Amino acid sequence: MKRVSVVILNWNGADMLREFMPSVIDYSVGEGVEICVADNASSDESLEMLRTEFPVVRLIELDQNYGFAEGITGL
């Protein structure tokens, strides 16, 4: 059972994810911890990059860009 979820909301942020995800992963180790990226229907390479470069990250693919507030509540 996961006890802690680190959830990052993303929209076309492949460059930022590529830069900062290694640190998030490094500092989020432990039993029961998961890292999730909720993607607001990005049109860049965010999803493919996460799948290939960071396969430990759980992807939540939203069907449209809900913006910041609704993107989090739409999970």
Dump pLDDT digits (tens) for 23-61.
Answer: 999 999 888 999 999 999 999 999 999 999 999 999 999
- For residue 49, give Cα distances in angstroms to 15, 25, 37, 61: 10, 15, 12, 14
pTM of the predicted structure, to 2 decimals: 0.85
Cβ-contact 56, 35 below 8 angstroms = yes
Name the nearest CA neighbour of 37 among 45, 29, 46, 28.
Answer: 46
pLDDT digits (tens, 9 = 90+) for 2-25: 799 999 999 999 999 999 999 999
Domain count, the chain: 1
Q: Which domain holds residue 44?
A: 4-73
At residue 1, does pLDDT exceed 90?
Answer: no
